[in-house]
Amino acid sequence: MSAEQVIVNKGLEGIYFDNTSICHIDGQRGILLYRGYNIHDLASNATYEEVCYLLLYDRLPTKDELDQFDAALKENRNLPSAVMDVIYAFKDGHPTDVLRTAVSALGTIDPDVKDMSLEANLRKGIRLIAQFPTIVAAHERIRKGLDFTPPREDLSHAANFLWMLKGEEPDPDAVRAMDLDFILHAEHSSNASTFTARVAASTLADLHSSVVAAISALKGPLHGGAAEAVMEMVEAIGEPERAEGWVQEQLAAKKRIMGFGHRVYKTEDPRARHLRELSKILGEKYGEPKTFQILQNIEKAMEPMRAKGIYVNVDFYAGSIYHYLGIPADLYIPIFAIGRIVGWVAHILEQYSDNRLIRPLLHYVGPMERQWVFIEQRS
């Protein structure tokens, strides 16, 4: 193909690189399905554990299957002491970096590290789903100089996370909010972090390495970092009546409003509906409705942007929910990862199951055949 014929799809926009049976997104109609099940049904009826089973095994579990799966998660919540040492050693790092480093460390000592069979990869994946909350909570406690709160087997995935984080019996509304947040973040097709995981897996790198790659891609403000940026915006705005003017100023300065816009959704992100409702309820419950009012006013001020297909996305209300639960802003990305780990694992397994190395092209636009110059002659 000559240089003139090359079509560059910047950001790989609109490119299908494989088939999948994990997730379907209709960005025009705002539809999201996990393994064929609508996100609204899952958000209203499922637990995170059930959603994990569905994503990993491609069907809803029976009661017995769910009990066994839940027991496997509970069994694997503790961390090896070497990984606790890593968390202590890097306790002053950003929680996302600590999570990435701890997963890397786990990959060196996982009992199935050399086994690439489906069974072994499922065991590794289940261990990681169970270990992620413990890593994040342990680091949060350790960096605050508090004792590590060991996991409890009588609590659900979401309740146990809040227990380990705070060291106190979690409030049922907070547990439901966390569980719903994990469900809504569990999977989202070929987003940047999942694509990165699949690229790593396509080289037949092991599961832990592929997950480390995914965490790295999640870190940026255009992906997992947006929820934290939204709450910084809420703080900068300060009062609900200032929201509209603030948004106009930012847009006039050609700045982006975090928590809006999406590569695939050109209508409202269906996950945002549930988080908006939660944000309202929790704001009232915890006696802090102002944050929700500011968010509502930002959303209203952004209405003209809908003409360009820019609507609220999953991150817009997520930060406020963590804020109401008293969770520090630098934990928002790791919490996203706690929800998303199952999606990454499902995609890594799907990539392994019918692998072809992912290796797109870059169109070279630099100079051709430059003349070599010896170092003594260079100016």
From 121, 202, 313, 351, residue interacting with ligand ACO (rule: CB under 6 A): 313
* 261 near ligand ACO (CB under 6 A): yes
The footprint of ligand ACO on residues 2-41 (CB under 6 A) is 11
Task: Give the CA distances from residue 207 to residues 114, 214, 309, in Å, rounded to whole numbers and listed in that order.
Answer: 10, 11, 36
* 226 near ligand ACO (CB under 6 A): yes
From 197, 212, 247, 314, residue interacting with ligand ACO (rule: CB under 6 A): 314
Question: Shortest distance, CB of residue 245 to ligand ACO, whole angstroms?
Answer: 16
From 315, 341, 346, 350, residue interacting with ligand ACO (rule: CB under 6 A): 315
Question: Shortest distance, CB of residue 34 to ligand ACO, whole angstroms?
Answer: 15
DSSP string, 24-67: EEETTTTEEEETTEEHHHHHHH--HHHHHHHHHHSSPPPHHHHH
Q: DSSP letter for 189, please.
A: S
* 274 near ligand ACO (CB under 6 A): no
CA distance 67 to 172: 21
- What letter represents residue 42's amino acid? L
* 308 near ligand ACO (CB under 6 A): yes
* 91 near ligand ACO (CB under 6 A): no
Q: Which position's Cβ is nearest ligand ACO?
A: 261
Q: What angle do CA 95, 101, 105 make, to 5 degrees?
A: 140
Nearer to ligand ACO among residue 138 and residue 214 (C-beta):
214
Which residues neighbour 127 within 8 Å (Cβ) at sequence distance 6 or greater? 76, 106, 110
**Strands across the sheet with 23-26, in order?**
23-26, 31-34, 37-38
Task: Give the CA distances from residue 242 to residues 30, 52, 293, 354, in Å, rounded to whole numbers and listed in that order.
Answer: 30, 41, 11, 53
Question: Shortest distance, CB of residue 360 to ligand ACO, whole angstroms?
Answer: 17
Which one of the spans 95-103, 199-207, 237-245, 259-267 is the region binding ligand ACO (CB under 6 A)?
Answer: 259-267
Of 353, 356, 360, 357, which is closest to residue 21 (Cα–Cα)? Answer: 353
CA distance 4 to 347: 36
Place of tokens 């397994």: 349
Nearer to ligand ACO among residue 148 and residue 260 (C-beta):
260
From the candidates 139, 185, 208, 262, give the one annotated as an active-site residue: 262
Nearer to ligand ACO among residue 243 and residue 310 (C-beta):
310
From 258, 337, 342, 349, residue interacting with ligand ACO (rule: CB under 6 A): 258
CA distance 292 to 277: 10
From 133, 170, 259, 319, residue interacting with ligand ACO (rule: CB under 6 A): 259
Q: Is 262 a catalytic residue?
A: yes
Q: Is 330 a catalytic residue?
A: no
